[in-house]
Amino acid sequence: MKLVGVMGKSGAGKTTFTDFFAQNHNDVGIIHVDDLLSEVKKKYFRIFLQPKKRNTTENTKKNPKLNGKVKKLFYSNRFLFNLLMKVRSKLVAKPINQQIETMKSQGKEIIVIDDWVITTHEDLYPRLNKIYYVERQFSERREGLKERDDLTLEELKVADIPYARHYIDKPEDDRVITIKNREAIEDLNQKAKEEYEKIHVKTFDEKYVIDVEKTKEFSRLVKARINPNKEDKKHSSEKVK
């Protein structure tokens, strides 16, 4: 099983890329951290949420926005931002791991985790086999977010503060692949297909990994074929003991 992360600024196209990656592939499982976070917000951060009248789109009804002033306070201070991200990571760690285990039991070979701050998950981040960083121009993200989350220009600027002030950067890591979203859905879809094909190919080690227990069992069966009486006596003595 492989764990894949998808990150990038708000409105960059992470969710679209992730959904395209999994499209028509039964061996891929998707975890959208925002979906898990919506329950966390309602449970632990209710007093910091915008009133219902400010959550007007389908997306914000499902995942309510934080109060603008509170969000700006936390996003404008590196210490408060890092504290918020640590708390956030701790609160969603258990549901993320539960979903990973469920998907493993379902036979998923690739699990894609979509989260704009995936690098802040101290336990999860080192386990990722590959990380996709989705980029998109601000003007294009702005229009998309206005429609998706009904955000004002000021709210959009606040959302970008952690990147603008380098609280969050694109990881300098061999696992990172940059996906440039140039506003062409077909192009993003094609990139997702190409990346799926690359990551789906098993490495040499994965193809020829040796299962120790299976090897022991195979060896025992071979010995039993060569000298059946000796093996029968051995197992009989083991039973007596």
pLDDT in tens, 151-204: 788 888 898 999 999 999 999 889 999 999 987 888 989 999 999 999 876 554
Nearest CA among 14, 53, 54 for reference residue 35: 14
pTM of the full predicted structure?
0.77
Q: List Cβ<8 Å contacts ≥24 apart for 68-77.
A: 68/154, 68/155, 68/158, 71/155, 71/158, 71/159, 72/158, 72/161, 75/158, 75/159, 75/161, 75/162, 76/158, 76/161
pLDDT tens digits, 72-126: 999 999 999 999 999 999 999 999 999 999 999 999 999 999 999 999 999 999 9
Structure confidence at residue 208 (pLDDT): 53
Structure confidence at residue 168 (pLDDT): 92
Structure confidence at residue 47 (pLDDT): 75
User: Apex CA 6: angle with CA 163 and CA 113, to 5°?
Assistant: 125
Structure confidence at residue 165 (pLDDT): 93
For the cut 70, the answer to whether the pLDDT of residue 236 exceeds it is no
For the cut 90, the answer to whether the pLDDT of residue 53 exceeds it is no
pLDDT top residue among 19 and 48:
19
For the cut 90, the answer to whether the pLDDT of residue 30 exceeds it is yes
Share of the chain above pLDDT 90, in %: 45
pLDDT top residue among 221 and 187:
187
Domains and CATH numbers, the chain: 2-203 (3.40.50.300), 210-241 (no CATH)
Structure confidence at residue 87 (pLDDT): 93
Structure confidence at residue 38 (pLDDT): 81
Token pair for 151: 């955000």
Least confident span in 14-18, 100-104, 177-181, 208-212? 208-212
Binning pLDDT at 50, 70 and 90, where does residue 211 land? low
